[in-house]
Amino acid sequence: SDSSSSGSSSDDSSSSDSTSSSDDSSSDDKDYELIILNEDDDYCVGVDGGKQKEDRKLELVKCDEDDDDQLWYIDSRGRVEAKEDGDLCWNPHRIKEGSSIRLEECGGS
């Protein structure tokens, strides 16, 4: 009886530890980087108007690794998250030929 009660209390503490540590690592450990679109490293994905805001169109711009508006994080589902506003994403899997790509809320992509 004693071993089952101590087992459940240790189980509770380990489950709460794993929840809090995964929350901390998911927001702090993202590796934002340029998305380079040609072999010469000249052109990257940027944002029309130079600010990552909802409904802004993406465009090709001269690569600048110091420009946060050109830095992106690709999550496990393939969505691309904006560095300037982590609630905004674009989904390369939804791109259709000839259509413009816009930043939208991550929950919707």
Q: Which residues of 19-33 are buried (b: 16+ CB within 10 A; e: fewer)?
A: eeeeeeeeeeebeee
Are 65 and 82 in contact by the 8 Å Cβ rule? The answer is no
pLDDT digits (tens, 9 = 90+) for 15-48: 444 333 333 334 457 899 999 987 777 899 999 8
If you average pLDDT over every residue of the chain, what do you get? Answer: 76
pLDDT score, position 108? 53
Confidence of residue 64 (pLDDT cuts 50, 70, 90): very high
Cut 0.75: pTM above it: no
